[in-house]
Amino acid sequence: MKCVVMGSNVKVLGKAVHSLSRIGDELYLEPLDDGLSLRTVNSSRSAYACFLFAPLFFQQYQAATPGQDLLRCKILMKSFLSIFRSLVMLEKTVEKCCISLNDRSSCLVVQLHCKYGVRKTHNLSFQDCECLQAVFNPASCPHVLRAPARILGEAVLPFPPALAEVTLGIGRGRRVILRSYQEEEADSTVKAMMTEMSIGEEDFQQLQAPEGIAITFCLKEFRGLLSFAESANLPVSIHFDAPGRPAIFTLEDSLLDGHFVLATLLELDPHSQDLGSSQLHRPVPQLQGHSTPHQDDFANDDIDSYMIAMETTVSSEGLRVLPSVTLTPGPQRHCGPGPHSEEEDNDEAEPGPVPGTPPPKKFRSMFFGSILDPIHSPQGPSPVLAEDSDGEG
């Protein structure tokens, strides 16, 4: 494999690698006939990202030397990122970038041709790997949202950089709502600040989703995609379904396309919530309220009853700390760390098996599957994506 990137495209490539580095620790590089694909997945398998650079993106693109099979490799994200670490430097000094993959030398060679005759050569050792391919189809998602990257960038601006998750949904009046999502800890006395951003339908190029729908996903991973989209000035499409099903974020132009697939929080079964504790309602985002500017109903703001109760009880703890809830077995999150939580998630995952996969791997299979394209992949055992810590094969 050999490809050459010229001029300003080197910075674009660098930005894409920065974006991918926000998701996973390993980069899967695969030259295909329709372009060079860079893929990564996070350790808990709740986020997948892929950039495909078309042959036209390169000054020269050769997927494989004639007569040879297409190679693919897996390299450490940190190593690859270090080549493109300083985007400013890339823009100012790098004229050409050559990436070549040779199975004789077991190295991925990245050569940066810089100004003044300086040439930097990086030899990265790689591992042969199976194909990393997530099973997803944006067309199968009933709901879609599309907006210029700038709008979405402005939308996430009010949220603190440390915020892990955000809920996106459609509120009253067809307004798009982004709300900070905080996991409720029953014993925490310090509550976190809640921030909500409401944007009118007119700012979106496409909005095809019913009012009331909402999904919760990892904001940090989304920001990774957004930073690339903003620098490339591309619109971002968000394809999503019911909560619990992965959300697909796409961007494309004539030379590249990017797909980020993020798991979303599964909504708790409303029928099991008969304890009446307000904490239970938290994970189901309520999207009324702030959407219209005319909500100045003073009567709802009366907290006299709270105030009086505070003065008559000896300890106010009994009022403010609501009873902690024992949830139905297993955490309901898909963003949890490690394969252990995944096994439990399988009980909670949506019904509807993916054809040809055994039930215990339901969650993982919804997301990833074996793509046995007879032309490209070698015949062999079905793709193993990562070592399963339980040893279940």
* Residues at the site binding other proteins, with contacts judged by CB under 8 A: 154, 157-158, 160, 175, 190-203, 278, 290-291, 293, 296, 298, 300-304, 306-307, 310-311, 320
Q: Kindly state the helix (H) or strand (E) to which residue 329 belongs, with its residue range.
A: none
Select 192 or 384, whichever has its Cβ closest to other proteins. 192
Q: Please say which residue, 103 or 154, places its beta carbon nearer to other proteins.
A: 154
Helix (H, G, I), strand (E, B) or coil at 171: strand
Give the shortest CB-296-to-other proteins separation in angstroms: 8
Residue 32's alpha-carbon distances to 3, 102, 386, in angstroms, are 12, 15, 22
> CB 199 → other proteins: shortest distance, Å?
5
Minimum gap (Å) between residue 198 Cβ and other proteins: 4
Nearer residue to other proteins within complex by CB, 88 or 162: 162
Instruction: Give the contacts of 301 (CB within 8 A, at least 6 positions apart).
Output: none
Looking up tokens 């339901």 gives 362
Instruction: Output the furthest CA–CA distance in the chain (Å, rounded).
Output: 85
DSSP state, 246? P
Using CA atoms, how far apart are residues 29 and 79, in angstroms rounded to an integer? 13
Smallest separation, CB 239 to other proteins (Å): 23
> Beta partners for 62?
2
Could you tell me the smallest distance in angstroms from the CB atom of residue 317 to other proteins?
A: 12
Question: In the bound complex, what is the minimum distance in angstroms from residue 335's beta carbon to other proteins?
Answer: 23
Closest CB to other proteins among residues 214, 385 = 214
Residues in the chain: 393
Closer residue to other proteins (CB): 191 or 340: 191
**Residue number with CB closer to other proteins (56 or 186):** 186
Beta pairing, strands 256-262 & 47-53: antiparallel
d(C-alpha 355, C-alpha 53), whole Å: 31
Which is closer to other proteins, CB of 139 or CB of 190? 190
| Residue 182 exposed, middle or buried by CB count within 10 Å (0-12, 13-18, 19+) | middle
Task: State whether residue 109 is helix, strand or coil.
Answer: strand
Minimum CB distance to other proteins, residue 213 (Å): 20
